[in-house]
Structure 1
Amino acid sequence: MFEPVVAFFQRLFSAIGRGLGVAISWLLFPFVKFAGWFRASGGWIIKGPVAAVVILFVGLYGYFLYTTQAWTNFDPDYVNRYNFAARKTDAGLPVKFAPGAAAPATATCERSAIVDVASDLIDFNVDENAWISSMLLYKAGFFGIDWDHTPFLDNKASFQRGVNQAVRRTTVELVDSLGRVRGTSGINENLQKARSNMQFDEGAWYFGLDPFGPKTPTPSFYRSAKRDLQAFNESLVKCEATFDGRSDNLIEFIDRISNDIGNTSAMIRERSEDHNGGWFDTRADDRFWFAYGQLYGYYGVMAAAGADFDGVITQRGLAPIWAESLKQLRSALRIQPAIISNGREDGWIMPTHLATMGFYILRVRSNLVEMRDILAR
């Protein structure tokens, strides 16, 4: 009675085997033809340049493969390195010294933790790791298909763009409100340059077609932004710059971050509801890792804001909910599936990682909205 079932599975696996054989043959066909041509061609006058080009491409793709898979200094607990709890002074205010400690000859103000974290996140993206989105082979795609439209080698690039989104939003808020006294002071030049550099195209290489000609690649602009942020903090330490730590500025800062991750939540929801193809949704991974990178960046930025605005947070009784928000951000960073699946929410075979990430984003946003409401009372 089991013979028909056995025969069915034999035919099924035989068909799968033949399909895999055809696919592998199709992939190897160009290489086999090239090897045959290379053996039959003339002397090394022809073979030499061709071999050099092949070796060059093998090396480039080897480096590209390594770069997309090696996540240097990736650490969901990176916030712990800053030890923000040990700070005694809000950003921009004269530094408080321990009793009996010798004060410096010149005035010293507290540096901005937000600026330090934003600068370090840029360093993490473009110096500790290579910026993938502007690499030539990433722009070339997979046989002409955009890497973001494939399930391969795009996770780190999406993560970097998510981190970059958090830094971009932060530099805008530093220029518009945090780095100046609104109505009575001008825009800080270093912060203005940092914001401008962070708005640069994420995919620029050394040469482009629109406009046609040589270009400055994206990482160079982001490195300039890092230097601009560091220059602002150096001025702040000398009490030559302004960090306006008022409660209304904190309200606006929280509100903008809440709106930013709200946009990401909408993107996640749209993909989860309308394209739930499980493991076969080739865009689910870049949506997931963009959101993950954004939360990774905001985890550090929000922890830093807690140090820069400690006086306001303590005065308004926000410390418990602030700590809870950071806890929720850190919880979201625990989700690190090897393969992203965008299954149905009521499915029982394929998991729904996008819906899970969306759930954590909404929890974080809910805490941000609650903090904003408390501050606005």
Structure 2
Amino acid sequence: MLDPVVAFFQRVFSAIGRGVGLVVAALLWPFTAFSQWYGARRWIIKGPVGLAILLLVGLYGYFIWQTQVWTNFNPDYIDRYQLAERKNDAGLPVKAAAGETAPANRCERSAIVDVTADLIDFEVNQNAWISSMILYKLGLFGIDWDHTPFLDNKASFQRGVNEAVRRTTVELVDSLVRMRGTSGINTRLQSARSKMQYDETNWYFGLSPFGPLTPTPSQYRSAMADLRAFNDELVGCAVVFDARADNFLEFMDRVSSSIGSTSAMLRERSENYNGGWFDTRADDRFWFAYGQLYAYYGILSATGADFDGVINQRGLAPIWNESIKQLRAALRIQPLIISNGREDGWIMPTHLATMGFYILRVRSNLVEMRDILAR
């Protein structure tokens, strides 16, 4: 009586096996055909072709390594700046300890500028800048890596960090180092801002416009040098950093808008695409938001040191410290696989909604501080 049932399942599994075999054969066919073609050639052809293959394998090995290894990634990177030991706001004359003489012509350096420059160093010196690598630009058989679930998380993270760095360089020029907004624009910071607006994907050569290009990492390294040169001048009291309440207010307003846009991006993806682990664009959104918060955690921590007088005089210390704690809490979310499940689902988690929740908490505190300062 069981023979027909057994035979049925044998036919089913046999059909599945044939199907899998056909799929594997189709995937291997180009390699098999190339192997047969290569084996029939003379060494005058085999040599150059073999070298080209070795070069391609080496490039892909380097590319895969760079996308998977995150050098010096550390959510607690801000600890090394020891900001709690700062004695006064950025740009003010350095205070001497009791019984000591204050050094002449020496001002407090800007922690914001230090952190911003170090974030650029983290992106283009300590790690390779993924978005402008030639193999990243070529994609997976012509498919943009961002449209696949492979090898794009680090690039998205870097672009998130870069968005925060760009915003900070803009605000440094427009408000933070200008006396009441009427003084001239600092040329070093203006140069840094311009270089940070450079296209994130430029390689050594481009098609539109056609011709050689300056690669993106080179421009960012130059911007980093400009930022550090500005801080050196600030230490010598040759330039100004205007740590006023209205400058702080404007900066918080811009940061709030920046992360608000990211929150809207996460919400749109979470609401309209509930593919769970199979949503191949969810990881792009998640790691972009993570990179942005990673950068703002350091930049805003530095802002607290540069504007310590404003924060304490206006009674913002409790809400400010809570905002920093929430930023750090968001960085604890590091899932192995990003899932964009339904918010009421019970199998697949919803990492985008979780990240969006933390972003909204931080933004809510920034908006509240803005309202307090605006009174």
Q: TM-score, normalised by structure 1?
A: 0.95
Matched, 1:342 2:368: no
Q: What SS does the corresponding residue of 1:182 show, helix, strand or coil? A: helix
Q: Distance in 1 between matches of 2:157 and 2:56?
A: 26
Distance 1:324 1:30, change over 3 A: same
TM-superposition CA deviations, 1:123-174 (whole Å, max 9, x none)? 0000000000000000000000000000000000000000000000000000
Contact 1:204 1:218 in 2 (8 A): yes
Matched, 1:75 2:74: yes
Report the AA paired with residue 353 of structure 2: A
* TM-fit CA distance, 1:89: 1.2
Contact 2:275 2:340 in 1 (8 A): yes
Q: Distance in 2 between matches of 1:103 and 1:214?
A: 52
Contact 2:94 2:102 in 1 (8 A): no
Q: How many residues align?
A: 375
Contact 1:179 1:191 in 2 (8 A): no
2:134 maps to 136
Matched, 1:35 2:35: yes
Matched, 1:229 2:210: no
Identity %: 75
Residue correspondence of structure 1 range 165-314 to structure 2 within 5 A: 165-314=163-312
Q: TM-score, normalised by structure 2?
A: 0.96
2:52 maps to 53
Gaps of 5+ in 1: none
Contact 1:149 1:282 in 2 (8 A): yes
Report the AA paired with residue 313 of structure 1: I
Q: What SS does the corresponding residue of 1:242 show, helix, strand or coil? A: coil
TM-superposition CA deviations, 1:93-127 (whole Å, max 9, x none)? 000110223443x4100000000000000000000
Q: Distance in 2 between matches of 1:369 and 1:306?
A: 16
* TM-fit CA distance, 1:226: 0.2
* TM-fit CA distance, 1:38: 1.4
TM-superposition CA deviations, 1:268-324 (whole Å, max 9, x none)? 000011111111111110010000000000000000000000001111111111110
Q: Distance in 1 between matches of 2:365 and 2:9?
A: 52
* TM-fit CA distance, 1:25: 2.8
Q: What SS does the corresponding residue of 2:243 show, helix, strand or coil? A: coil
* TM-fit CA distance, 1:7: 9.1
Report the AA paired with residue 128 of structure 1: Q
Q: Distance in 1 between matches of 2:8 and 2:363?
A: 51
Distance 1:2 1:205, change over 3 A: farther
Q: What SS does the corresponding residue of 2:346 show, helix, strand or coil? A: coil
Q: Distance in 2 between matches of 1:267 and 1:10?
A: 49
TM-superposition CA deviations, 1:32-77 (whole Å, max 9, x none)? 21111111212x2111000000000000000000000000000011
Distance 1:4 1:143, change over 3 A: farther
1:358 maps to 356
Q: What SS does the corresponding residue of 2:342 show, helix, strand or coil? A: coil
Q: Distance in 2 between matches of 1:166 and 1:324?
A: 20
Report the AA paired with residue 250 of structure 1: F
Distance 1:19 1:257, change over 3 A: farther
Report the AA paired with residue 207 of structure 1: F
Matched, 1:84 2:105: no
* TM-fit CA distance, 1:19: 4.8
Q: What SS does the corresponding residue of 2:363 show, helix, strand or coil? A: helix
- Moved beyond 3 Å, runs of 4+: 1-24
Report the AA paired with residue 278 of structure 1: G
TM-superposition CA deviations, 1:211-265 (whole Å, max 9, x none)? 0000000001100110010011011001011111100110110010000000000
Q: Distance in 2 between matches of 1:368 and 1:13?
A: 60
Q: Distance in 2 between matches of 1:363 and 1:263?
A: 14
Report the AA paired with residue 270 of structure 2: S
Gaps of 5+ in 2: none
Report the AA paired with residue 26 of structure 1: A
Q: What SS does the corresponding residue of 2:276 show, helix, strand or coil? A: coil
Contact 1:91 1:243 in 2 (8 A): yes
RMSD: 2.0
Distance 1:7 1:289, change over 3 A: farther
Q: Distance in 1 between matches of 2:159 and 2:107?
A: 33
Q: Distance in 1 between matches of 2:121 and 2:368?
A: 32
Question: Higher mean Cα deviation, 365-374 or 20-29?
Answer: 20-29
Contact 1:88 1:96 in 2 (8 A): yes
Contact 1:116 1:230 in 2 (8 A): yes
Report the AA paired with residue 112 of structure 1: S
Report the AA paired with residue 62 of structure 2: Y
* TM-fit CA distance, 1:20: 4.4
Report the AA paired with residue 147 of structure 2: H
Report the AA paired with residue 216 of structure 1: T
Q: Distance in 2 between matches of 1:22 and 1:103?
A: 80
Contact 1:87 1:307 in 2 (8 A): yes
Question: Higher mean Cα deviation, 17-26 or 143-152?
Answer: 17-26
Distance 1:198 1:38, change over 3 A: same
Q: Distance in 2 between matches of 1:246 and 1:207?
A: 44
Report the AA paired with residue 49 of structure 1: P
* TM-fit CA distance, 1:350: 1.2
